[in-house]
Amino acid sequence: MVDWKPSASLKNLQQRAYALAKIRRFFSERDVLEVETPLLARSTVPDVYIESIAAEVVEGNSIRKNFLQTSPEFFMKRLLASGSGSIYQIAKAFRQEEKGARHNIEFTLLEWYRLSYSLDQLMTELEQLVQEVLGCGSISRFSYREIFQQHLQIDPHEISLEELQQRASTEIDLSGCDLSKTDYLQLLLSNSIEPKLPPYCIIYDYPSEQAALATLATDEHGVVVAKRFELFGHGLELANGYFELSDAAEQRARFEKDNAARKEKGLQTHDADEKLIAALESGLPSCSGVAVGVDRLLMLLVEAKNISEVISFDSERA
């Protein structure tokens, strides 16, 4: 028999609708403008660990390769640079190969940008939103350094690759060992720290190697860190925020670095998004932005073990 039925229960779909309505009310009360941006576009992120899904679009006699967007970030920054003011979006995003209990190839992101907000202010607003949607208590904050010192007695910024390798081997039975410092830190975070975190917490001031699209700054220890944070809820990575990089030249350099890393791994490279670079050159107002995994938020709301329980039709049924 053909299994045509949805993967989510009607009850969960109702919860989803209520949550989306709450989110929209939250932003309308704060005068943040809802926007929509293209899901299908000519360029995509060169991030080494994010694979885009290509789509072919016929243009006249030729076929142009487009990509389903992995996040609405670049378009939203082009809006910000054009004077939109603070904006939010509830958007579908697509990432190749990301399938599992907490991943679906097509998923829903809530992304918003706040003009002239510091990262601290944005963390507070995120906390308010999560409390509103999930009814949870206050959310504790730890720096990346604190959390590693507390749980693994290491300083993630100072530790050498050899020491890190050694420390990881006492925690994790790992096959092969051609990993970078960043790989080890991320693995230790998800394997040995996440299970011990309070139900809800924010980790901030990431190592500069994990800056992605965040600005760099010097912390109170004189170490250069990324002005980036992540929100974890019951072991799920829920949100990722940046004090946004606005330096066009630095943005181009990071794209080039990403592409060099892609080449080394034998992955297809993606040319820098020139429209984004041009927007940054014309001037991105000082802002902080964050992306929240809406499906994962829903998982916590209805206590679902699998993401498919909160998505009407998961990728297997789509």
Q: Which residues contact 96 (CB under 8 A, 6 or more apart)?
A: 51, 52, 53, 105
What are 21's two structure tokens? 């309505």
Residues near another protein (CB under 8 A), total: 29
d(CA 56, CA 45): 17
62 is a site residue for another protein (CB under 8 A): no
CB of 254 to another protein, least distance (A): 12
183 is a site residue for another protein (CB under 8 A): yes
- Which of 47/127 has CB closer to another protein? 47
CB of 103 to another protein, least distance (A): 6
Q: Which stretch binds another protein (CB under 8 A): 72-80, 99-107, 195-203, 271-279?
A: 99-107
- Binding another protein by CB under 8 A: which of 99, 181, 270, 275? 99
CB-facing half-sphere around the CA of 157: CA atoms within 13 A = 18
* Helical ranges in 67-171 per DSSP H: 73-81, 119-134, 144-152, 161-171
d(CA 184, CA 177): 10
- Binding another protein by CB under 8 A: which of 100, 153, 170, 218? 100
CB of 49 to another protein, least distance (A): 5
Calculate the alpha carbon distances from 274 to 42, 103, 139, 270 in Å: 11, 30, 38, 11
Nearest CA among 193, 191, 219 for reference residue 204: 219
- Binding another protein by CB under 8 A: which of 37, 131, 149, 210? 210
- Binding another protein by CB under 8 A: which of 30, 49, 248, 275? 49
103 is a site residue for another protein (CB under 8 A): yes
- Which of 175/218 has CB closer to another protein? 175
Going residue by residue from 154 to 173, which x/- string records binding to another protein, judged by CB under 8 A?
A: ------------------xx
d(CA 250, CA 227): 15
Q: Is 268 helix (H, G, I), strand (E, B) or coil?
A: coil
Buried b (16+ CB within 10 A) or exposed e, 48-66: eebbbbeeeeeeeeeeeeb
174 is a site residue for another protein (CB under 8 A): yes
97 is a site residue for another protein (CB under 8 A): yes
Nearest CA among 234, 246, 247, 220 for reference residue 293: 234
261 is a site residue for another protein (CB under 8 A): no
Q: Which stretch binds another protein (CB under 8 A): 44-52, 60-68, 113-121, 300-308?
A: 44-52
Strands 87-94 and 33-34: parallel
CB of 226 to another protein, least distance (A): 11
Q: Which stretch binds another protein (CB under 8 A): 156-164, 178-186, 249-257, 281-289?
A: 178-186
d(CA 127, CA 56): 40
30 is a site residue for another protein (CB under 8 A): no
Using CB under 8 A as the criterion, which residues of the chain lie in contact with another protein when the complex forms? Answer: 47, 49-50, 97-103, 172-176, 178-179, 182-183, 186-187, 189-191, 210, 212, 230, 237, 240
